[in-house]
């Protein structure tokens, strides 16, 4: 048996937290041979509800769960953290864009970045889920100057999984037959779901669907799926978001072998002309606990235009939180 690792989940009494914690504790995220210590962070008024979640976690008698620490103290929560899932933030309501949450949520991520900087493992993997995820991840990273920026990712995986599911449904394929999907840019309605390199059962995806469906139906459906779920459920996605977070962390920790690539928002490094300073959704592979941006994909004029639009939105979001970046 491996020695335990510390996983910190913020917003642990929220709806994503409730769908996430039991899967982490059962080994879905880091493997059935990896014991975990769960540090659960909440705001003080939610500590009662968090206590209830902790009771239920204990009642599962998970063999891999070797410690459980509910707290409202960020420094305690991130002490010796190996994996951080930053979920705790307000969700949007119907009619809002995710960036409308910046003023409410941006302030959460500076102090959490500082707490990570102080106490987390130096090769911690931090996945920001709370919206607007890309810019919140940027805030957390900027407040953790002693941690490499590559320790911080934001979640594009829900969009990636949504795109796979839509394409599978349209073509009658299994989700496992689909590869090479990328969600570029922001986890927002400007994201670019790219099928130009996607394959269905080894054949070009664009040979199986017509371009009109791709541009007029598929792209807006994936871009607006979060809003459609809020309209239908009266609450934002939770179980699918938790599942995507599990997928993202599992691939980052254990590798993407077997799949062509996955979509992850990582610090822009000039790849595909996106200069540093924002967290950008890219096609990535992972091995040995590190991610790499897939290089050398051809981008046509349509793709370049869409990628420029989502980059522009991320630069605007960055400008709006410049005061939180130091």
Ligand X SMILES: O=C(O)C[C@H](O)C(=O)O
Choose the stretch contacting ligand X; rule: CB under 6 A; options: 45-53, 224-232, 297-305, 310-318.
224-232
Q: How far is the CB of 114 from ligand NAD (least distance, A)?
A: 13
DSSP state, residue 14: S
Q: Is 143 in the site for ligand NAD (CB under 6 A)?
A: no
Q: State which of positions 207-266 bind ligand NAD (CB under 6 A).
A: 236-238, 241
Answer yes or no: is 131 a known binding residue: yes
**Given its phi and psi angles, is residue 120 left (phi above 0), alpha (psi -120 to 50 degrees) or beta?**
beta
What residue 228 binds from ligand NAD, ligand X, none (CB within 5 to 8 A, per partner kind)? Answer: none
x-marked contacts with ligand X along 147-186 as a string, rule CB under 6 A:
-----------x----------------------------
- Show contacts of 163-172: CB within 8 Å, 24+ apart: 163/193, 163/195, 163/218, 163/222, 166/218, 166/221, 166/222, 167/195, 167/198, 167/200, 167/205, 167/209, 167/218, 168/200, 170/209, 170/213, 170/218, 171/200, 171/205, 171/208, 171/209
For residue 312 the two structure tokens come to 């522009």
CA-to-CA dists, residue 102 to 136, 139, 156, angstroms: 8, 11, 18
Instruction: Tell me which residues in 60-119 interact with ligand NAD (CB under 6 A).
Output: 87-92, 108
Alpha carbon distance 265, 281 (integer Å): 4
Q: Assess 98 for contact with ligand X (CB under 6 A).
A: yes
Active site residues: 187
Tell me the backbone φ, ψ of residue 259, rounded to 5 degrees: -120, 150
259, burial (CB in 10 Å: exposed 0-12, middle 13-18, buried 19+): middle
Tell me which of 40, 46, 142, 293 binds ligand NAD, using CB under 6 A.
46
Q: Is 11 annotated as a binding residue?
A: yes
Among positions 187, 199, 306, 318, the unique one binding ligand NAD when judged by CB under 6 A: 187
10 lies in the binding site for ligand X (CB under 6 A)? no
- Whether residue 14 is annotated as binding a ligand: the answer is yes
| Cα 48 from Cα 27, distance rounded (Å) | 26
Annotated binding residues for NAD(+), written as ranges, equal 11-17, 105, 112, 129-131
Binding site for ligand NAD (CB under 6 A): 10-11, 13-17, 41-43, 46, 87-92, 108, 129-131, 133, 155, 158, 187, 236-238, 241
Binding site for ligand X (CB under 6 A): 91-92, 98, 131, 158, 226-227, 229, 236-237, 241
């Amino acid at each position: 048996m491996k020695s335990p690792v510390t996983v910190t989940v913020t917003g642990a009494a929220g709806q994503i937290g409730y769908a996430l914690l039991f899967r982490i504790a059962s080994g879905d995220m880091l493997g059935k041979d990896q014991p975990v210590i769960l540090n659960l962070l909440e705001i003080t008024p939610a500590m009662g509800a968090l206590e209830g979640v902790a009771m239920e976690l204990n009642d599962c008698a998970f063999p891999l769960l070797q410690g459980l620490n509910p707290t409202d103290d960020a420094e305690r929560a991130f002490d010796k953290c190996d994996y951080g899932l930053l979920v705790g933030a307000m969700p949007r309501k119907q009619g809002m864009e995710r960036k409308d949450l910046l003023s409410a949520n941006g302030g959460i991520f500076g102090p959490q970045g500082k707490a990570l900087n102080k106490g987390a493992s130096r090769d911690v993997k931090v996945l920001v889920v709370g919206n607007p995820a890309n810019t919140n991840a940027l805030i957390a990273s900027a407040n953790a100057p002693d941690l490499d920026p590559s320790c911080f990712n934001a979640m594009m995986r829900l969009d990636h999984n949504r795109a796979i599911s839509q394409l599978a449904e349209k073509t009658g394929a299994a989700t496992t037959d689909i590869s090479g999907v990328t969600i570029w840019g922001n986890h927002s309605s400007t994201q670019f779901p790219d099928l130009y390199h996607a394959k269905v059962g080894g054949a070009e995806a664009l040979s199986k669907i017509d371009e009109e469906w791709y541009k007029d139906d598929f792209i807006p459906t994936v871009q607006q799926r979060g809003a459609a779920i809020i309209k239908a459920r009266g609450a934002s996605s939770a179980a699918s978001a938790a599942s995507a977070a599990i997928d993202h962390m599992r691939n980052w920790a254990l590798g993407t072998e077997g799949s062509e690539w996955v979509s992850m928002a990582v610090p822009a490094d000039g790849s595909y002309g996106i200069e540093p300073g924002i967290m950008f959704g890219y096609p990535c592979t992972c091995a040995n606990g590190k991610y790499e941006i897939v290089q050398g994909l051809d981008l046509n004029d349509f793709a370049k235009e869409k990628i420029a639009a989502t980059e522009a939105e991320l630069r605007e979001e960055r400008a709006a939180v410049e005061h939180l970046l130091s």
